[in-house]
Amino acid sequence: MKFKSFILFLATATLVLSCAREVDEDVETERTAHVSGKITVDDTLDSSGDYSGIHLLSTIRVDENRIDTLFHAVTDSTGNFSGRAFIDQDDIYTIVVSRNQNTFGIINLIFAEDDTVSITGRLPDLNTSLEVSSRENDVLQSLERVENNFSRIVNFINAGAVPQDSIHIEIEKWSDIYWQLFDENSGLYAAQLAGESAVSILRGWNDSLMVQRKSELLEQYNRVTTGTRLTLVEFYAETNGLRRALEFIDELKNRTPRTSDHMQLDIERIELLYDSARTTEATRHLEQFRETYSDNSIAMDWAESISYDLEFLAPGSPFPELTFMLTDGSTISIADLQGKPFLLEITRFDNTLYQQQYDRTVAIYQIYRNFELEIITVPIESSEVMLNAFFEERSKLWNVVQPDSFEANELIELLNLNRVPTRFLVNSDGTIIRRYIGNEYEDVVRGLQRIGTLNND
């Protein structure tokens, strides 16, 4: 039996903003964008007609101890402002708009070298009155419109409103729309994002066209953003094996001079080796990573975390022995599950991503319980009230641990939890198949194929 669920995640970075970035000392950083405009105040908030003192601030976290200011301007009495944004690379950034220490809105926009950005708006309803225009941001707005329309098609597809044999036609059509936006705005960062969406949504539907467009994209930009990169690395690993995926990482690393890109690619190499149970090789690369980025606190924090995973939670390692009390008053231990594969998920019931994924978990359970798959949900920072509210309109089909019946901090430390939801897929012999964090849940079904009792489905 084969199970395939169609869920598309939009690959464009318009809604994903990095919280930290390493500044490349070996790459020229005097890249600037000119930013100007006018922010006024509605009479209902301030009838004085004096629009001065409105701050527009864009910052970026370099490491845990340092935040750099990219752009800061303050309006004059007429509401006008101007200044320059200093950036190390073209990207999407945020501007926080505030007055008298009150935040009125956050603007997401592209800062690109030599671009001229115009911003107008009115407080307090900045979100509804905001207008941002520039060569880059005009294309970004077109891209956002395409994304909004495509997301509606995705909802129709996921709801079963599009015939199965027509889905690939829709996907290719929308890839062409993204690609046209890329083609017509060559050289712009927003065009790169459009091109990456055209590439990513083809995954699993037209892989040959995806690879072709990926090559054209790299010829022009020499790099892709993290989401697209992970999609392509995963594709090569699945279709051509681990070596080809590692070669692709090397190719990307050779294309870019940026230290920040190199660091992220080195991280992805180690995580790929970790997921592939190549712990010895992953450990060797981790030692090199520590030497190369020893002065980067963010890199060292990540290295410490993955080091624990490699030692105790790598694929093939025995899953730690745990015992839980369930909502029905009974107890269950990892030893009780010996001989059965299981999926242990740690989450909060108020987590939006978990709620969105729940129906997929139900579908997986209904199919794979025929192969003795057990699911155990462990809620952290949850209460009896939250549990009851969550299952008020949802079926509780598998084992759920009683909230507050265990030491959450001990569990977080033992399983090295950094985000929820986190899931561990464990084989019938008690060894870890793989850990899935957040959206990595998309790989769970593929992981199930690696469980011995499911190989013939």
| pLDDT of 11 strictly over 50 | no
Q: What is the DSSP letter of 76?
A: -
Task: Please indicate, yes or no, if residue 204 is contained in any of the structural domains.
Answer: no
- Comparing 11 with 430, which gets the higher pLDDT? 430
Task: Please indicate, yes or no, if residue 194 is contained in any of the structural domains.
Answer: no
Q: Is the dihedral of CA 211, 215, 218, 220 positive or negative?
A: negative
Task: Please indicate, yes or no, if residue 329 is contained in any of the structural domains.
Answer: yes
**CATH code assigned at 94:** 2.60.40.1120
The letter for the amino acid at 210 is M
- Could you write out the DSSP letters of every residue in 141-199? HHHHHHHHHHHHHHHHHHTT-S-GGGHHHHHHHHHHHHHHHHHHTTT-HHHHHHHHHHH
| pLDDT of 23 strictly over 60 | no
Count CB atoms within 10 A of the CB of residue 131: 11
Boundaries of domain holding 58? 15-133
* Residue that is last in its domain, among 117, 133, 149: 133
* Residue that is last in its domain, among 101, 133, 165: 133
Structure tokens at 439: 């959206």
- Could you write out the DSSP letters of every residue in 81-146? EEEEEEESS-EEEEEEEEETTEEEEEEEEEE-TT-EEEEEEEES-HHHH-EEESHHHHHHHHHHHH
Tell how far CA 219 is from the center of its chain: 25
Task: Please indicate, yes or no, if residue 316 is contained in any of the structural domains.
Answer: no
Q: What is the pTM of this model?
A: 0.79
- Structure confidence at residue 416 (pLDDT): 93
Q: Which pLDDT tens digit goes with each residue over 124-173?
A: 999 999 999 999 999 999 999 999 999 999 889 878 899 989 999 999 99
The predicted model gives 184-202 an average pLDDT of: 97
Torsion of CA 107, 110, 114, 116, to 10 degrees: -40
Q: Which pLDDT tens digit goes with each residue over 208-262?
A: 999 999 999 999 999 999 889 999 998 999 899 999 999 999 999 999 998 889 9
Task: Please indicate, yes or no, if residue 164 is contained in any of the structural domains.
Answer: no
Task: Please indicate, yes or no, if residue 259 is contained in any of the structural domains.
Answer: no
| CA pair distance 220, 12, nearest whole angstrom | 17
Q: Which pLDDT tens digit goes with each residue over 400-413?
A: 999 989 999 999 99
Length of the chain as a residue count: 457
* Residue that is last in its domain, among 75, 100, 133: 133
- Could you write out the DSSP letters of every residue in 326-379? BTTS-EEETGGGTTS-EEEEEE-TT-HHHHHHHHHHHHHHHHHGGGT-EEEEEE
Number of structural domains in the chain: 2
Task: Please indicate, yes or no, if residue 439 is contained in any of the structural domains.
Answer: yes
| CA pair distance 5, 165, nearest whole angstrom | 14
Structure tokens at 149: 């329309």
Kindly state the percentage of the chain with pLDDT values over 70: 91
| CA pair distance 451, 427, nearest whole angstrom | 6
Task: Please indicate, yes or no, if residue 416 is contained in any of the structural domains.
Answer: yes
- Structure confidence at residue 447 (pLDDT): 80
- Structure confidence at residue 451 (pLDDT): 67
Lowest mean pLDDT among 2-11, 335-344, 445-454: 2-11
The predicted model gives 435-440 an average pLDDT of: 85
Lowest mean pLDDT among 109-123, 156-170, 238-252, 429-443: 429-443
Helix H segments across 185-318?
A: 189-200, 207-221, 226-240, 242-255, 259-275, 279-292, 297-308
**CATH code assigned at 450:** 3.40.30.10
| pLDDT of 453 strictly over 90 | no
